[in-house]
Structure 1
Amino acid sequence: MKPEEFDRMVEKGTPGPLYLLYGDEPYLVERAVKKLMDRVVDPGLRDFNLDIFYGNECKGAEIFGAAQTLPTFAERRVVLVKKGGDLPAAAQEVLLSYLQDPAPETCLILQADKVDGRKKFFAEFKKKGEAVEFKRPYENQLGPFVREEIRAAGKRIDSSAAELLAYLVGNNLQELASQIEKLVVYCGKKETIGVEEVKAIVSDTKVENVFEFTDALGTRNAAKALRMLSGLLADGEAPLKILGAVARHFRQIWQVRSALQRKVPPAELAKASGVAPFALNKIKEQVRNFGTADLLRIFEQMLELDLAFKSGGKAEALLEGFVFQVCQGNRG
């Protein structure tokens, strides 16, 4: 089942007894779990009809017993297993028999970031129930996400404003949803949200400095990049977050370069590359600074940086070395 099919089912249909909700975008998974729970059990009756377990610390018999318990003062109950992908083998074996004949009065939800589909339990769960994977959206999907969230809040947003918000915040959907909520409150009774309202809300100096840093790398301005990097680290910006912004920037350069090589018409370049229209000219200028070999080398270096950070390497020295490599490498 696709996420959009899941949403339609929750809104209009009757939920079934087995759901596996998983994926690498925790915000979407959490939201799907909440939607399903709200549909199945009245919040006022959850003290009687909701059991929550954690897959890494529970036994299969506990989940089995809760799922077989009849609801109280309601038609149905929910049994939610968080970290469902971490269920031990013994628990999976116990629950296999439940999958063959699930209680119709119970909605058993497994919530996970990832599952091993090769294991018999998860393969059987997908066969007997509904499995929905929630993937982290691509950059060109963030604008539509913003517009849909704004629409659900009862307002409209200009396309350029939606793209700007997505560009400034990035693909952290939890943070993006938080900024959308603030934007809706800020606009009050105003029905249509524009670029000025977005700028008023997302005026974080750290965000602006991150973009200045990535632009300095894109123009191969080592002095400015080092100055901006020093400021970001002094302000407490996490090295992995800085690296994430750099990765996003060079993916955009790669995507625009690829689209230009395919001779995509100028009017279709933003859509084809997934880069917001207001950022396109800047990225096109920076494309000239990097050949294919340059970009491949930079992506390899970013992977090495990521591994080095996680291994306890000194972030400041590693990032400074990366800046020199990017800004002084062979030009395209």
Structure 2
Amino acid sequence: MRFEDFIKDMREDKIKPVYLFYGEEDYLIDYSIKSLKEKYVNEGLETLNYIVLDGDNIEMSHIYDACETLPFMSEKKVVIIKNLGIFGSKTKGQGAEYFNQKKDELKKYISTLEDYICLVFVEKNTNIDKRKGIIKSINKFGRVIEFTKLKGRDLNNWIGKAFKKYGKIISYNNINYFIQHSSYFDRDINKSLYDLENEIIKLVNFTGDRKEINVKDIDEVMTKSLDTNIFNLLNSIGEKDINNSLKVFHEMCVSNEPIPLILYMIIRQLRLILMLKLLKEKGYDKRTIMGKLRIGDYQYKIFSNQSKNFSNAKLEESLNLCLESDENIKTGVMDDKLALEMLIVRMCS
């Protein structure tokens, strides 16, 4: 079940007695819990009808105590249990050992939950093992919901609405530019919608009374990630723009990005672009390519666009130049910064 389906069920009063919330998007998990509380728990009676338990410090008796008492002057009683630690392929946390021994008891109890209760297990940034009996039991009597990062139109709409909330407007193209600079899909950086919201607030404050957010604002306010700078660098190289290529490289140096890391990232992205082109030529579809390269939809789109500026021969030549520069740096033949500058000039030629 998806996050959107849960919100729809909640609006239609089709809430189940038990859920497992898990996944990488903390913001959406917190938003869902907040929405659940706002809809079913009367403000002022939270201490009686909204209970949060830490899975590291509870036993079955605490779950019974939380769930058995009826809601007081509220439609439902909401009980949140965080980090129980028994849903993944490997258990984790102090309470996991105890609840591993109590799995059958917990499964049996889940099957007896009344409609007045909404019991939610929350496991953030956790991969679950759907073969486990406890998860099958939750799925049978409730729902298991994975909170993945927003993508495509859903992400664009979320960003547009977030700016609108602060009285700002931003075009579709500038939303995509904002996403590109946000590192939201960077596999090496754990970013959530909380981080995007912080960037949006910074842009709102920066633009003051001006209503529309433009590219210049984004460039001024948002710190470019290494991935974004490498993307911009290869774009300029693909367009044979030596001056802008060197400008982007020097900006990375000013930001104290290590030269070896910059070279590694250039090689990595060139390899991904070449592999994508070769897989396309062999007739593989988008989903298969994404799986083989272990990239997401947004990265696929970026690499596909960049691949149009490079022939296979040019990519292979550029990779050989990179390896030559790497050897020159490691053997002391050339200063690392000079070696990268020479590499960029040669790749642009």
Same fold (TM over 0.5): yes
Give the aligned partner of residue 305 of structure 1: none
Does the 8 Å CA contact 1:84/1:110 hold for their aligned counterparts? Answer: yes
Q: Secondary structure of 2:16's match?
A: coil
Alpha-carbon distance in 2 for matches of 1:225, 1:191? 29
Alpha-carbon distance in 2 for matches of 1:245, 1:40? 49
Does the 8 Å CA contact 2:20/2:143 hold for their aligned counterparts? Answer: yes
Give the aligned partner of residue 136 of structure 2: 123
Between 1:245-254 and 1:89-98, the stretch displaced more is 245-254
Q: Highest CA radius of gyration, 1 or 2?
A: 2
Alpha-carbon distance in 2 for matches of 1:159, 1:132? 29
CA deviation after TM superposition for structure 1 residue 287, in Å: 6.6
Matching residue's letter, 1:290:
L
Query: Is it true that 1:182 corresponds to 2:202 in the alignment?
Result: yes
CA deviation after TM superposition for structure 1 residue 208, in Å: 6.3
Give the aligned partner of residue 46 of structure 2: 46
Q: Secondary structure of 1:39's match?
A: helix
Q: Secondary structure of 1:42's match?
A: coil
Give the aligned partner of residue 164 of structure 1: 177
Does the 8 Å CA contact 1:80/1:108 hold for their aligned counterparts? Answer: yes
Alpha-carbon distance in 1 for matches of 2:137, 2:79? 18
Gaps of 5+ in 1: 265-269, 299-319
Per-residue CA distance 1:215-254 (angstroms, 9 max, x = gap): 557859999999766654579xxx8xx9998799569746
Alpha-carbon distance in 2 for matches of 1:56, 1:287? 55
Between 1:84-93 and 1:109-118, the stretch displaced more is 84-93
Does the 8 Å CA contact 1:22/1:132 hold for their aligned counterparts? Answer: yes
Q: Secondary structure of 1:117's match?
A: coil
Alpha-carbon distance in 1 for matches of 2:268, 2:72? 50
Query: Is it true that 1:103 corresponds to 2:102 in the alignment?
Result: no
Matching residue's letter, 1:175:
D
Q: Secondary structure of 2:9's match?
A: helix
Equivalent residues in 2 for 1:263-278, closer than 5 Å: 273-275=300-302
Q: Secondary structure of 1:44's match?
A: coil
Classify 1:56/1:216 alpha carbon distance in 2 versus 1 (closer, same or farther; 3 Å).
same
Query: Is it true that 1:69 corresponds to 2:69 in the alignment?
Result: yes
Alpha-carbon distance in 1 for matches of 2:64, 2:250? 58
Give the aligned partner of residue 285 of structure 1: 309
CA deviation after TM superposition for structure 1 residue 126, in Å: 1.0
Give the aligned partner of residue 56 of structure 1: 56
CA deviation after TM superposition for structure 1 residue 5, in Å: 1.6
Q: Secondary structure of 1:89's match?
A: helix
% of aligned pairs identical? 21
Does the 8 Å CA contact 2:23/2:127 hold for their aligned counterparts? Answer: yes
Paired positions, count:
285
Query: Is it true that 1:135 corresponds to 2:148 in the alignment?
Result: yes
Matching residue's letter, 2:160:
R
Matching residue's letter, 1:129:
G
Does the 8 Å CA contact 2:21/2:122 hold for their aligned counterparts? Answer: yes
Alpha-carbon distance in 1 for matches of 2:115, 2:196? 37
Alpha-carbon distance in 2 for matches of 1:136, 1:107? 25
Give the aligned partner of residue 15 of structure 1: 15
Does the 8 Å CA contact 2:110/2:141 hold for their aligned counterparts? Answer: yes
Q: CA RMSD in A?
A: 4.7
Per-residue CA distance 1:264-305 (angstroms, 9 max, x = gap): 9xxxxx9995239xx95x66436764359x69xx9xxxxxxx
Matching residue's letter, 1:40:
Y
CA deviation after TM superposition for structure 1 residue 57, in Å: 3.4
Classify 1:244/1:67 alpha carbon distance in 2 versus 1 (closer, same or farther; 3 Å).
farther
Give the aligned partner of residue 92 of structure 2: none
Among candidates 176, 197, 201, match of residue 221 of structure 2: 201
Q: Secondary structure of 1:274's match?
A: helix
Q: Secondary structure of 1:118's match?
A: coil
Does the 8 Å CA contact 1:155/1:193 hold for their aligned counterparts? Answer: yes
Per-residue CA distance 1:150-182 (angstroms, 9 max, x = gap): 456665420111011101112123211221233
Classify 1:272/1:199 alpha carbon distance in 2 versus 1 (closer, same or farther; 3 Å).
closer
